[in-house]
Amino acid sequence: MKEKITHFKIGQIVNTQGLKGEVRVYPFTDDIYRFDELESFYLGKDLETLWDVEKVRYKGNMIIMKIKDIDTVEMAEKLKNKFMYVSREESRDLESGEYFIADMIGIDVFTLDGTKVGVLKEVLQYAANDVYVVKGEENEYLIPAIMKFVPTINMDERKMIIDPIKGMLD
> CA angle at residue 34 from 33 to 37, to 5 degrees?
110
Give strand pairing partners of 66: 22, 55
154-to-39, 109, 168 alpha-carbon distances in Å: 33, 10, 22
- Domain range summary for the chain, segments of one domain joined by +: 7-90, 101-162
Whether this model's pTM surpasses 0.75? no
Q: Is the pLDDT of residue 49 over 60?
A: yes
pLDDT digits (tens, 9 = 90+) for 60-118: 889 999 999 999 999 999 999 999 998 877 666 667 777 777 788 899 999 999 999 99
Q: Is the pLDDT of residue 26 over 80?
A: yes
Residue range 101-162, CATH number: 2.30.30.240
Q: Is the pLDDT of residue 1 over 50?
A: no
pLDDT digits (tens, 9 = 90+) for 123-160: 887 777 889 999 999 999 999 999 999 999 998 899 99
Residue range 7-90, CATH number: 2.40.30.60
